[in-house]
Every structure is written in structure tokens, then in C-alpha cells.
């Protein structure tokens, strides 16, 4: 037993070193060659560009970080080496998927990502709930892979091309119904992996995974749909299906934020938070701002990896407290509004977006709401002095907006050779109507109005439950 534990630790240690070496190599390549990273192709099978190197750098960083954490966290765990190998295989599958140009390799690696993640979820095969969660998640992943295969193969046979670059180049000549069917299949495959409603339950059921696995899942796997949709951005424009992404993403963002508020389990709170953030990412894709979606998935990866790795193994429960009511004085409201508007203008100036009335205005609105929310939290914090409340908002929002704008511009530059990844759409009546609904939902959530409707609480509680066989269905041995 001691020898087996030593071998497991050694395997984990080697994999950790390899991942850090890969990250440093990718980072060096990105830093020294950005933004004009040379294009490299291998016989229409592989294609490496700036976007590929960017995703490689991000993925290997998260994998190396989580491997370092898990090396000691899971020391003595009988499946430690299995877990490390599965995580390494998962990392390689993502890296291969991003550089795949031939559709067969693209589809195989997408399926492999799901298989590896399902195995990671059920890494402790002796635990009944973990086995059920693994099988339950795998059903979703296989379904998503089948839909992606249908969507891509339809395009391949219609264009008589079997490389991604050739398919994208020949979309103009396809009948409208072909692009719509293919677009809907690819969209469904994407939202399944990102646990967008109504396909969210697999993520809520995956809490049987060890904490490092949860961090990898929430920081890496669910973000894969943003990569997929960016690769097929031209198809989504051609099929005019972006509005579907906008509405589904927006609804998911609002609903998941509501369900997060009623959770008492820390991991379930984080899962609902991830679903909401994925909704925002899908919503940005629906606006035609795939570059903003990629920025979002990168920032979400850092944020969620930190939250999971700092939460500890033990699932904590919050003691129910009397809900806080939103109260704000007129002067405080003016300060919040001022910094929100100023943050929006600063973001537009730094990114060169301007104030054109297109779908990009929604991204500006989200930035304004975020800045306003941070400002509100500061001005309402009783532990801060008046001087600190006056000093912190400008420092935080200026540094935050500048950082976000730099990332936005950097990612956009690295995606320059990918068509239609930053193409705002003209504002439609549907988008305006849904934007109003989205804002109403946001303020209902912040004002706590939902607490006055018990039926709504019950409905939100029901839709945020994991699969029944993954919770307390087997006796502990």
C-alpha cells in the first residue's frame, strides 16, 4: 500500500512538472510573438494560430495549477494516479481540439473531452453516487457529441470539404435550411457542455468529484462551448441563429443567479454561479462578440479555480440569516450611477468601441452594471471609513476597467485571422425587449422581491436539484 501511494505521488509529481513546462513554453511563445503569431498548418489536419496559443496557455496554466494543488491535497488517495492521468488526458484533448482543422479530429477530441471529464467526475469508482454522476454526465456529453457530429457532417457533405477552414470558406453557397439545421445542432452541443438551461443538471450532479476536479471542470471544461462557438462564428451569422444564443444565455444568467441565492451548500452555490456565468458567455456570443466571450471564459476560469481551490474539501453549509433589504441614500445612488456610467464610457474609449447603437451596447451595459454593483458594495460597507469609501471606487473601477480593456484588446488582436468574431449586430426589437426583461429580472433579484412568492422559491429550488441517484442513494462502506 505504501509503495502504491509512493508511485501515485511520483506519477502526479511528474505530470505536474510536465504541465508547468508546457505552460511556460506556451506563455513564452505567446509573449514573444504576440500579436502576430505565425500561422502553422500540417496537411490540413492541424492548424495553430494566435487563438490556439492563447487557449493552450490558459488551459495548461489551469491544469498545472490544479495539478500542483492536487499533488498534496489528494496525497494518499487510492485513485490519485488515475486522477492525475485523466486530468492530463483531458488537457491534451482540449489542446488537440483547439488546433484541429480536419473535422474527424475535431469531433473525436470533443468526445474525448467529455469522456475524460465523466471519468474524472467518477474517479472514485467505489462510491456509488460518483458512479451515477459519471454515467449521468456521460449521457449528456455523448448526446452533445452526436449533435455536433450531425451539424458538422451536414456541412462537410454539403460543401464537399472535410476541413474546418474549407467548410467556413464555402458557407455562402449553402441553402438557408442547411445552415439553420447545422447551426442549431452546434448550438445545442455547445449549451449542453456549458450546462445551460435546460441541460444544467449534469453540472449540479457532479459535486461527487474531488475539489481539484471540480476546479478543472468549472474553470476549463464548461468554457469549451465558447471556443466551439468562436470556431463556428461564421456559420452562426450565416444561419441567423445568434438571437437564440442571446435569449437562452440571458435567461440562464438570470435564472441561475436566482437559484444561487437559495442554495445553502457551498459547492451548489458555486455550480449555480458557473451556470450563470456561462449564460453571460453564451449571451455575448449571441451579440456577435465572440472575442468578449473568450475574455469572459478566461476571467471566469481564474475566478472559479480560485473559489474552488480555496473552499476546501469539506462542503460547508450556511446558517440561514434574515435577508438583507436593499437600502440606499440619494447621495449614494448618485455615486453608484456616476461610477457606473463613467466606467462604461472608459471601457468604450479604451476598447475603441464607441457609442454606436448596435449589439455592443449590451456589453457596455453589463460593464456599467458591474461597476455600479461594486461601487454599491463599497458605499454600503459599514467597516469602511468615509475616506476609504471615497478612495476605493475610483481606484478599483479604473484598475479593473483598464485590465479588462487590455485583455479585450489583446484577445481581439490574437483572433484577428478568425472571421466574424467581433461583429456587433444592429439592435433588433427582440433584443431591446429581452434586454428590458433582463434588467427587470436583475433588479427583482437585487431587491429581493422573489422572497414574497413561495411558489417561485419552490420552482427555483426544484430546478436546481441534482440527479436523484447522485445524492445519498448508496450506503457508505
pLDDT of residue 387: 67
Which regions of the chain are under pLDDT 50? 1-4, 6, 313-318, 320, 477
Asked if the structure places residue 285 within a domain, the reply is yes
How far is residue 375's CA from residue 339's CA, in Å, rounded to a whole number? 7
| Contact between 68 and 16 (Cβ < 8 Å) | yes
Q: CB count, 10 Å around CB of 423?
A: 18
Q: For 404-416, what is each residue's pLDDT tens digit?
A: 788 888 888 888 8
Domain count, the chain: 1
| Contact between 106 and 242 (Cβ < 8 Å) | no
Contacts of 238 (CB under 8 A, 6+ apart): 171, 172, 174, 179, 183
Give the sign of the dihedral formed by CA 247, CA 248, CA 249, CA 254: positive
Asked if the structure places residue 446 within a domain, the reply is no
Asked if the structure places residue 448 within a domain, the reply is no
Note down the domain range covering 159. Answer: 2-318+463-470
Asked if the structure places residue 353 within a domain, the reply is no
pLDDT of residue 438: 72
Q: Is the peptide bond before 329 cis (omega within 30 degrees of 0)?
A: no
| Average pLDDT of every residue of the chain | 81
H-assigned helices in 1-126: 2-33, 50-73, 80-99, 103-121
pLDDT of residue 378: 67
Asked if the structure places residue 333 within a domain, the reply is no
**3-state class of 400 per DSSP?**
helix
- Nearest alpha carbon to residue 440 among 258, 191, 244, 243: 258
> pTM of the prediction?
0.86
pLDDT of residue 315: 44
How far is residue 214's CA from residue 355's CA, in Å, rounded to a whole number? 40
pLDDT of residue 318: 46
Asked if the structure places residue 444 within a domain, the reply is no
Asked if the structure places residue 409 within a domain, the reply is no
How far is residue 228's CA from residue 196's CA, in Å, rounded to a whole number? 15
Asked if the structure places residue 437 within a domain, the reply is no
pLDDT of residue 8: 59
Amino acid at each position: 500500500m505504501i509503495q502504491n501511494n509512493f508511485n501515485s505521488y511520483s506519477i502526479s509529481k511528474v505530470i505536474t512538472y510536465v504541465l508547468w513546462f508546457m505552460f511556460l513554453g506556451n506563455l513564452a511563445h505567446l509573449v514573444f510573438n504576440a500579436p502576430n503569431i505565425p500561422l502553422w498548418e500540417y496537411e490540413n489536419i492541424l492548424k495553430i494560430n494566435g487563438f490556439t496559443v492563447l487557449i493552450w496557455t490558459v488551459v495548461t496554466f489551469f491544469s498545472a495549477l490544479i495539478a500542483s494543488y492536487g499533488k498534496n491535497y489528494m496525497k494518499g488517495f487510492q485513485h490519485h494516479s488515475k486522477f492525475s492521468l485523466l486530468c492530463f488526458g483531458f488537457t491534451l484533448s482540449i489542446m488537440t481540439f483547439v488546433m484541429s482543422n480536419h473535422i474527424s479530429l475535431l469531433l473525436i477530441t470533443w468526445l474525448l473531452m467529455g469522456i475524460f471529464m465523466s471519468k474524472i467526475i467518477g474517479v472514485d469508482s467505489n462510491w456509488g453516487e460518483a458512479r451515477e454522476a459519471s454515467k449521468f454526465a456521460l449521457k449528456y456529453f455523448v448526446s452533445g457529441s452526436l449533435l455536433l457530429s450531425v451539424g458538422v457532417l451536414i456541412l462537410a457533405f454539403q460543401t464537399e470539404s472535410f476541413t474546418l477552414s474549407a467548410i467556413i470558406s464555402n458557407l455562402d453557397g449553402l441553402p438557408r435550411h442547411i445552415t439553420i439545421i447545422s447551426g442549431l445542432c452546434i448550438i445545442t452541443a455547445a449549451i449542453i457542455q456549458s450546462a445551460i438551461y435546460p441541460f444544467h443538471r449534469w453540472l449540479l450532479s457532479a459535486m461527487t468529484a474531488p475539489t481539484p476536479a471540480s476546479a478543472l471542470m468549472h474553470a476549463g471544461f464548461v468554457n469549451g462551448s465558447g471556443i466551439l462557438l468562436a470556431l463556428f462564428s461564421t456559420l452562426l451569422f450565416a444561419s441567423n441563429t445568434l438571437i437564440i444564443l442571446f435569449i437562452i444565455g440571458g435567461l440562464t444568467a438570470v435564472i441561475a443567479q436566482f437559484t444561487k441565492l437559495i442554495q445553502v451548500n457551498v459547492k451548489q452555490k458555486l455550480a449555480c454561479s458557473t451556470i450563470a456565468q456561462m449564460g453571460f458567455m453564451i449571451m455575448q456570443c449571441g451579440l456577435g462578440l465572440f472575442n468578449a466571450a473568450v475574455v469572459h471564459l478566461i476571467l471566469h476560469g481564474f475566478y472559479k479555480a480560485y473559489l474552488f481551490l480555496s473552499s476546501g474539501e469539506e462542503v460547508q453549509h450556511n446558517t440561514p440569516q434574515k435577508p438583507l433589504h436593499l437600502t440606499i441614500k440619494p447621495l449614494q445612488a448618485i455615486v453608484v450611477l456616476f461610477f457606473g456610467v463613467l466606467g462604461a464610457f472608459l471601457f468604450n474609449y479604451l476598447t475603441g468601441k464607441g457609442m454606436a447603437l448596435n449589439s455592443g451596447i449590451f456589453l457596455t451595459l453589463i460593464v456599467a452594471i458591474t461597476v455600479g454593483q461594486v461601487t454599491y458594495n463599497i458605499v454600503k460597507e459599514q467597516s469602511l471609513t468615509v475616506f476609504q469609501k471615497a478612495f476605493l471606487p475610483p481606484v478599483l473601477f479604473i484598475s479593473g476597467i483598464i485590465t479588462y480593456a487590455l485583455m479585450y484588446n489583446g484577445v481581439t488582436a490574437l483572433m484577428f485571422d478568425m472571421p466574424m468574431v467581433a461583429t456587433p449586430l444592429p439592435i433588433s426589437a427582440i433584443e431591446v425587449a429581452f434586454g428590458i426583461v433582463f434588467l427587470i429580472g436583475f433588479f427583482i433579484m437585487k431587491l429581493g422581491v422573489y422572497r414574497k412568492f413561495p411558489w417561485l422559491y419552490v420552482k427555483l429550488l426544484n430546478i436546481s436539484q441534482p440527479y436523484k441517484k447522485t445524492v445519498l442513494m448508496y450506503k457508505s462502506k
